A = this chain, B = another copy of it.
Amino acid sequence: MNTSTRSKQEVDRWCDDFESLCRARGIRVTPQRLAVYRVLAEDRSHPKPESVYRRVRERVPGLSQATVYRILEFLEREKLIKRVSADDGVGHFDANLASHQHLVCRVCGRMIDVSVPALTNARVPSVTGFAAEELDIRIVGRCRQCARLKAGRRKPLEPSDPD
């Protein structure tokens, strides 16, 4: 099983839920929004806007980059997707709203979903003077491929979306 995609049936279900949730909330459902959401639902690799754009465009030819940015920002504001924190300075998005953590390779930047029970169940600490809502946990290290390489090479693999 390819770890960076989801099964078609799961994706279909997510998209159906997405569509009904939008309608219920009075959010307009456009082909562009549906397509952006679907690409995110299919892709576990936390793609960047540019990569979302490339893939959505194959299905919605006229699509413009600006629209992708606007949709991603909008869906994030509506809490229908999440923006995941990364230190490469570019946005990464995730349709998986369930509590989980990310393995982050410090060499290639790849980000892989995991769910470590001890962390998923960790209580959000109470801190005075701060309304803590959730924990965002990244496990930083080296992925299998990068761990093999001897130090020295700078960028053995391209970041998150190699395609």
Contact = CB atoms under 8 A, between A and B. Distances in A.
A87 B87 contact: no
Given A87-B83, A87-B84, A137 B137 contact: yes
Interface residues of A, number: 39
Interface in A10-30: none
Contacts of A90: 89
Interface string A112-123: 101010110011
Contacts of A86: 85, 87
A1 to B, nearest CB: 14
Contacts of A105: 130
- Can you tell how many copies of this chain the complex includes? 2
Contacts of A144: 129-130
Contact of A135 (B84, B106, B139): B139
Interface in A83-104: 83-87, 89-91, 103-104
A124 interface: yes
A125 B129 CA distance: 30
Given A133-B141, A135-B139, A136-B137, 12 more contacts: A89-B89, A89-B90, A118-B123, A119-B125, A129-B143, A130-B141, A130-B147, A131-B143, A132-B141, A135-B137, A135-B140, A137-B138
